Structures are given as C-alpha cells and as structure tokens.
Structure 1
Amino acid sequence: MSPDLPAPIADFVSANARLDVDGMLKPFAADTVVLDNGQRFEGHAELRALFEKAMVPVKAIFSPETARHENGKVVVEGPAHGDFPGSPIRFTYAFTLQDDIIKALEITA
C-alpha cells in the first residue's frame, strides 16, 4: 500500500509508473534543482535529460512505501525496480514543495 502523498509528488510518482517524461516534469518548478546521488540538475531541460537517460531506458519505476515530513521536506522512501543491475534498489527522495509545486528534490540510494 502506498503512502498518502501531496499532489505534486503523487503526480510525479504516477507519471514515473508510466515512464511518462512530460508527466514527470509537470509537477516541478521551471527553476527546480535536483541532486541525484551527488550530481546537480537545474531546470526542466536538465531534468528531462536525466529522466530520458537514467530512468526511461532501464524502466526505473519508484514505488513509495513510506512518507514523512522532516525539516520542511517530504521524505519518501521505497524501492525502484527496473532493468538495471541490483534491481530493486532502495531510494530516498526528499522533496521541497512550494505553492503545490516541487521546488527541489534530493535523491539518494
């Protein structure tokens, strides 16, 4: 059973389950900053490239199991399954929300 998630995060997760890059981008602010295991991505163009290179080809689908509020962020944890070595891998997504949009995201494995 997946946790109750704020709408922008739920929208991202739902689009990720369909590997829908446009849908995954929609809940992010145009000037979003994403830190993915130490790499920094800024804005929709860089985020699109990340999704198209790192998620879609290997069918990486994140399945949230837990969610909590911590230090002003929504921290969501769960496995990502796909066609990649070590699948599934457990990830932590720390979302910063502002006005019902994802302003920042930090992803760690």
Structure 2
Amino acid sequence: MKLPSIVETYFEAEKRGDADALARAFAADAVVKDEGAVHTGPDQIRAWWLAAKEKYHHVAEPLDVTEQGGKVTVRAKVSGQFPNSPAILQFVFGLRGDTIVDLEIH
C-alpha cells in the first residue's frame, strides 16, 4: 500500500504518539471533523488528538487507500479503549501540496 507522503507522516506520528509531528502535518488553516466536532488549525488539532489519545488510548493501522475526487481515503483498523474495539474507520484527507488541509474521520 502506497500512502501519500504526508498521510504516511500522519499515521507514523500517530503510531509514535508524537502530537507535535502530527500537528505539523496540517496546514495553518486545516480543519479536522471528528465525533461531531470541528477543530481548526494545528494547535486545535494537536489538542483534539491529545484529548482523544488520553480518552481512548487508540492506535490506527492503515488497511487500504483510495484516491478519488481530490480526496485520499484510508480505511484503518482502530483499536483502543472504546466499545466495539477494534473498529474500521475511514480517514478522508484533503491535501494541498505537502500538507493536510482537511481530515474527516467516520
């Protein structure tokens, strides 16, 4: 499976638990939508990710990737401390150059 470089950076940072590297993968105006909330900019995205990590102690393992309509969709097996773990979630990335401009998780 060949992930775009910046998407690989996201999942590698997630795997290492590196909130700073994860936040640096996002553009200054990036938006993340997850669990009905919207987080804008690297600082809010970093805070969102740290709060989710503390709450769920999750890890995400990419399974496959598709690109369509300018979006990169990664199906990932997410395991952690939440009901019905593990779950298969979709991470839908919007990219601009070598940064993530939007991410929606469902």
Structure 1 partner of 2:52: 54
| Other structure's SS at 1:17 match | helix
Contact 1:35 1:105 (8 Å CA) reproduced? yes
- Listed as ranges, the matches of 1:21-32 within 5 Å are 21-32=19-30
1:20 to 11, 18, 21: 18
Deviations 1:33-59 (A, max 9, x none): 111132111011211111111124432
Distance 1:23 1:12 in 2: 8
1:38 to 23, 36, 46: 36
Q: Which runs of 4+ in 1 moved over 4 A?
A: none
Distance 1:35 1:70 in 2: 19
1:97 and 2:95 correspond: yes
1:81 and 2:104 correspond: no
Corresponding pairs, count: 106
Deviations 1:10-46 (A, max 9, x none): 0010010111111111211111011113211101121
Q: Which moved more, 1:51-60 or 1:87-96?
A: 51-60
- Output the amino acid matched with 1:79: K
- Output the amino acid matched with 1:23: A
TM-score normalised by L of structure 1: 0.89
Distance 1:20 1:56 in 2: 13
Contact 1:19 1:56 (8 Å CA) reproduced? no
Across the aligned residues of Structure 1 and Structure 2, the Cα RMSD in angstroms comes to 1.3
> Structure 1: any 5+ residue segments left out of the alignment?
none
Between structures 1 and 2, the one with greater helix share: 2
| Other structure's SS at 1:31 match | strand
Q: Identity rate of aligned residues, in percent?
A: 33
Contact 1:19 1:59 (8 Å CA) reproduced? no
